[in-house]
Amino acid sequence: MAISSTLTAPRRAFFAGPVVPRIVAGLVILVAWEIVVRRFAPSYVATPSGVIAAFPSVVVSAPFLAALGQTLGAVAEGLAIAIVLGTFIGLLMGRSALGEQVLRHYINACYAMPMLVVLPLFSLWFGYSGAARLATIVFAAIFSIIVSVADGARSVPKDYIEVARSFGASRMRMLFEIVLPASMPYFLAGLRLAGGRALIGAVVAEFFTAIGGLGYFILYNSRTFHHDEAFVAVLFLAAFGVAIDVLINWSTRRFLPWYRRDDRVE
Amino acid sequence: MARWRAALVRQAPFVLSLVAGAALWEVVGRNTNAAFMAPLSETVVRLVQLTASGELPREALSSAALFSTGLALGIVVGMPFGLLLARVKWLREALDVYIMVLYATPLVALIPFILSIFGFGFWPKVLVVFLFSVFPVLYNTIEGARSIKPELIEVARSYRSREWALWREVMVPYTLPFTMTGIRQAIGRALVGMVAAEFFLSATGLGQLIMTATQNFDTAAVFSAVLLIVAAGMILMRLGVALEAHFAKWRG
């Protein structure tokens, strides 16, 4: 049984639904958090009121903006590398039996590996620098792209290929006009996973190497007992995590409307 | 004989790729500074040494205890709570957004807070593994609950099904396959949580072994521990996929 990507169907917008119960639940959670921390926790622990108070000054402060730029820049760069390389390797595995047999076990092993274990090695090889972070991000993101592109390329209906072949399409055109578009939904599903993993990769690399970014911003502020300030950065990371998810669900619905796995009637 | 030969020919690219990979590792390792990259042969020797000295088994057991406690808690909390949310619609509608947000949030970002609030013991680390594993279980169980056709519950109701029968016949069979997908994801995430806790909270287990070995430029030991984690990860992943496939038959 091969370890393979799971294809999640584009969901109906997760945020669609009744608003009032959600707002009420949110308020209950915030109030409970505030009370529990005030009663039982040391005063430096983050509270909703503290985070709200810290928010305006943190988001315009130079260290925060610099950290934000560094992390997001690194994630974007790492994802771009992972997409290009990962699509290439994924196509190689999906469309060539030899490529599949040669690479599969290595890719599966790396995919199953918790990406954190490479941190000490990467910091040794690349130094305690942005390069180590970039390498960690690429490593964290690339395997879910490879696995899902390979799955997608494998799943292209044989008829399409046969028709193209009988019309004398070149290998290149077949790749770009049939295989790639047909594996798009798989690619997007892989990209969704890769985006989240890239974000985690960036944060853990910053924890480990103490280079500037949102991860280090959190580490530094929580160590100096500025939990409210540190939590603002957590909110941003959460927002990016959700944004990646929402963006990819949206583009699957918008650009690949024919792709629908579950025609559920509700 | 013929069948053997056919199998051999079929497996040839795989075997050759393993041999090539091993050879590449050996050659690169021998031609790089020993502090950066240990060749395969040295790694194997070190692996045997560390196993014989009892160091590797001891640390692996410590890691396994952390992993399994956190994952078990994640499942034990996530599954019933997920099923409850599956049944109680207003509660699910109130909470699903928050669960989805926590599922998508890189929870590693919370580790510095956990460190400074709860300190260094075993249970703060379990908390990390728990947080990593509980949300996939919850999230997928809720997805499953959303996939139950309302007609099924209506039919059960109109036949005056008791609450218990409704759970047994509709809720559990329809959500459990999704929960299993969640558990499969949780296994992978719990492994990440385990290493993260061992790196960033108090250093114990395989994480500690890797950190100390890196500081001592003992790359062969680093690779030994990484190999062990990769092997464990692959076995666990396969277990998860098998579990998921077994219950996937139930999906309507």
Q: What is the CATH number of the domain that holds B142?
A: 1.10.3720.10
B52 lies in a domain? no
Average pLDDT over residues A81-107: 90
**Structural domain of B217:** 60-248
User: Touching check for B106 and chain A: CB below 8 Å?
Assistant: yes
**Structural domain of A140:** 75-214
Read off the pLDDT of residues A133-161 as tens digits, 9 standing for 90 and up: 999 999 999 999 999 999 988 888 888 88
**CATH number of the domain encompassing residue A152:** 1.10.3720.10
Closest chain A CA to residue B221? A121
Average pLDDT, chain A: 85
Low-confidence ranges of chain B (pLDDT < 70): 1, 250-252
A101 lies in a domain? yes
Band of the pLDDT at A9, cuts 50, 70, 90?
Answer: very low
Average pLDDT over residues A89-112: 88
**A24 → closest Cβ in B35, B94, B236:** B94
Query: Could you give the CA distance from residue B175 to residue B141 in angstroms, rounded to a whole number?
Result: 6
More confident position, B208 or A8: B208
Q: How many domains does chain B have?
A: 1
Band of the pLDDT at A5, cuts 50, 70, 90?
Answer: very low
pLDDT score of A2:
41
Residue A263 reports pLDDT greater than 50: no
Band of the pLDDT at A3, cuts 50, 70, 90?
Answer: very low
Single-letter code of the amino acid located at A80 = A
User: Touching check for A96 and chain B: CB below 8 Å?
Assistant: no
Q: Looking at beta carbons, which residues of chain A come within 8 Å of B36?
A: 124-125
B79 lies in a domain? yes
B127 lies in a domain? yes
User: Touching check for B181 and chain A: CB below 8 Å?
Assistant: yes
B16 lies in a domain? no
Among A1, A107, A113, pick the best mutation site for testing chain B contact (most B Cβ within 10 A): A113
How near does any CA of chain B get to the CA of A72, in Å? Answer: 14
pLDDT score of B1:
64
A242 lies in a domain? no
Q: Looking at beta carbons, which residues of chain B come within 8 Å of A114?
A: 188, 191-192, 194-195, 229, 233
How near does any CA of chain B get to the CA of A139, in Å? Answer: 14
Which ipTM value was assigned to this complex?
A: 0.84
Tokens standing for A66?
């610099």
B99 lies in a domain? yes
The residues, any chain, with a CB within 8 Å of residue A219's CB and separated by 6 or more, are A206, A207, A210, B112
Left (φ > 0), alpha (ψ -120 to 50) or beta: where does A259 sit?
beta
B190 lies in a domain? yes
Read off the pLDDT of residues A204-262 as tens digits, 9 standing for 90 and up: 999 999 888 999 999 999 988 889 999 999 999 999 999 998 888 888 888 877 665 54
Single-letter code of the amino acid located at A213 = G
Q: What is the pTM of this model?
A: 0.86
**A230 → closest Cβ in B112, B147, B192:** B112
A28 lies in a domain? no
Q: Looking at beta carbons, which residues of chain B come within 8 Å of A115?
A: 192
Query: Could you give the CA distance from residue B195 to residue B67 in angstroms, rounded to a whole number?
Result: 9
Read off the pLDDT of residues B130-161 as tens digits, 9 standing for 90 and up: 999 999 999 898 888 877 877 888 888 888 88
B12 lies in a domain? no
pLDDT score of A113:
86
What percent of chain A has pLDDT above 70?
90
Tell me if A238 sits within 8 A of B105, measured CB to CB.
yes
CA of A132: how far to CAs of A125, A204, B148, B155, B220, in Å?
A: 8, 11, 46, 58, 20
B33 lies in a domain? no
Q: How many domains does chain A have?
A: 1
**A3 → closest Cβ in B98, B199, B238:** B238
Q: Do B17 and A106 lie within an 8 Å CB cutoff?
A: yes
A255 lies in a domain? no
How near does any CA of chain B get to the CA of A172, in Å? Answer: 25
A57 lies in a domain? no
A257 lies in a domain? no
A249 lies in a domain? no
Band of the pLDDT at A15, cuts 50, 70, 90?
Answer: low
Which has the closest alpha carbon to B18: A29, A103, A70, A228? A103
A32 lies in a domain? no
Q: Do B109 and A244 lie within an 8 Å CB cutoff?
A: no
